Structure 1
Amino acid sequence: MVGDLMALGEVVQAALRARPVEEGLWDAMTAALAALTDSPHTPRRALETALLTTADPALRARHLEKHLRWQELLVPEIERRMGVEPGPVPDPRANAIVGACLDTAMEIWAKRNGEGTLEEIYLEALTAVRT
């Protein structure tokens, strides 16, 4: 059910790496996430997965494990864009950008039963973090 989440994380990682170096972190991250719209993970399927993973503790735990893997994939690139040398301990700011914003967006989107788009809610979360 959540098996392709890792592949989607790799899509975002590749898209983030491909963004221009001079592009701001927030714009680069938003553009990288837009690469998911070309994935086979349709909004309906994503909503079904989100509803199931937020309702069942075991599925939610597995889903969160996959999100932690997203952090491993994306945090080093975000750190580089922040001018921080990636190291064995992630920068808390980079970790928060990936973890808090993505997880929050998915949870709220599911609680709204798919009202709006995941991207819109993610942008709301990013805006809150940026201010």
Structure 2
Amino acid sequence: MTDSPDKMRNVGGKSAAWLRQVGIRTRSDLETHGAIGAFIKVKKAGFKPSLNLLYALAGALDDCHWQQLGSERREQLLAELAAQEEALGMTGKPKWGGPARPVTTIDGGDYQDGQGSDHDDDVTPDLRFD
């Protein structure tokens, strides 16, 4: 997470609003539900999250930028998401389209916050953490 207890890495205003609306307001809430559980709650609430939200939440829990998640980790997340959606009866072709597409990853030493990402990775003071 970031230095301030009031901000969560990778979560911008829109994502934070969705999370608040499904009852995820703290880091503890996110840890309880996990990245996949939180993503499914957002999706079941009628929002249309992209996989970037899933990666952002996983990165927040892993304390890294979402683009630093390796392809193996993204594939693991997608497999777990598909399994949970199937178990919940969320049938049909997933709107996210299946296997992970290549995403440019950034090594920790090469990453600098705020450089060149157009993802909703602004930090927001509205999502409080324990």
Q: Which category of TM-score, normalised to the shorter sequence, fits these structures? A: 0.3 to 0.5
Normalising by structure 2, we get a TM-score of 0.38
Q: Higher relative CO (CA 8 A, sep ≥ 6), structure 1 or 2?
A: 2
Normalising by structure 1, we get a TM-score of 0.38
